[in-house]
Amino acid sequence: MAQLEVIRGDITRLTVDAIVNAANTSLLGGGGVDGAIHRAAGKELLRACQALGGCETGSARATPGFNLPAKWVFHAVGPVWNGGSRHEDELLAGCYRRSMELAREHQAKSIAFPAISTGVYRFPRQRAAEIAVRTVREHLPASGLDQVIFCCFDEETAGIYDAILTARP
Ligand code: APR
């Protein structure tokens, strides 16, 4: 049975088959985890992203990991939080669902997610974490994954995920 785990750290350092990026629709990089992933992967990642021609909000596109320890990067585009009445929940769930499908398509056995949309895009952390865990659990059997890591960059976010996972391991 695949295991879900929470770690606190920098997703660019994880030796997993795939890491998920919190990107924007242009896929041309940015700040936050997007900036960290592009810096660590190197310039070839930007060229691969340019060739993709963008990604819609609520979905994700795959590139190789280049200089990253991860084989693949799944660039997910989360919603900007606008109070919750513009389908933000469904769009965020779509990022996790599409990443789980990409894991299947790429025969990934391990994947790490950042807390998509909870930084610059201001999605409430607790609400985002509940959507993340629920959506990952829902799509886990079909994904073929053995390991899912929620890679949190700060203690508060790690605590939120820990509480959710220990409530129902
Ligand atoms: N490893 C893991 N998590 C990280 C890292 C890292 N190296 N750096 C930042 N994070 C965390 C943030 O602390 C936050 O919890 O990733 C989460 C997502 O925050 P952002 O990176 O700001 O992403 P998001 O809120 O989805 O906003 C996306 O920001 O960087 C731009 O191009 C990006 O326009 C897009 C927008």
Task: Judge whether 60 and 74 are in contact, CB under 8 Å.
Answer: yes
How is domain 3-167 classified at the CATH fold level?
Leucine Aminopeptidase, subunit E; domain 1 (3.40.220)
Domain boundaries, the chain: 3-167
pTM for the whole structure = 0.98
Segment 84-103 mean pLDDT: 98
Residue 22 Cβ contacting ligand 1 at under 6 Å? yes
Which amino acid, one-letter code, is at 43?
K
Q: What band does 169 get if pLDDT is binned at 50, 70 and 90?
A: low
Residue 74 Cα, ligand 1 centroid: separation in angstroms? 14
Query: What is the whole-number distance in angstroms between the Cα of residue 108 and the centre of ligand 1?
Result: 22
Q: Which of 34, 146, 154, 162 is catalytic?
A: 34
Closest CA to 101 of 46, 138, 152, 57: 138
pLDDT tens sequence across 69-83:
999 999 999 999 999
Confidence of residue 168 (pLDDT cuts 50, 70, 90): confident
Active site residue 34: yes
| Contact indicator for 131, 96 with CB cutoff of 8 Å | yes
Contact indicator for 73, 55 with CB cutoff of 8 Å: no
Query: Distance between CA 32 and CA 115 in Å, rounded?
Result: 11
Cα(97)–Cα(16) distance, integer angstroms: 18
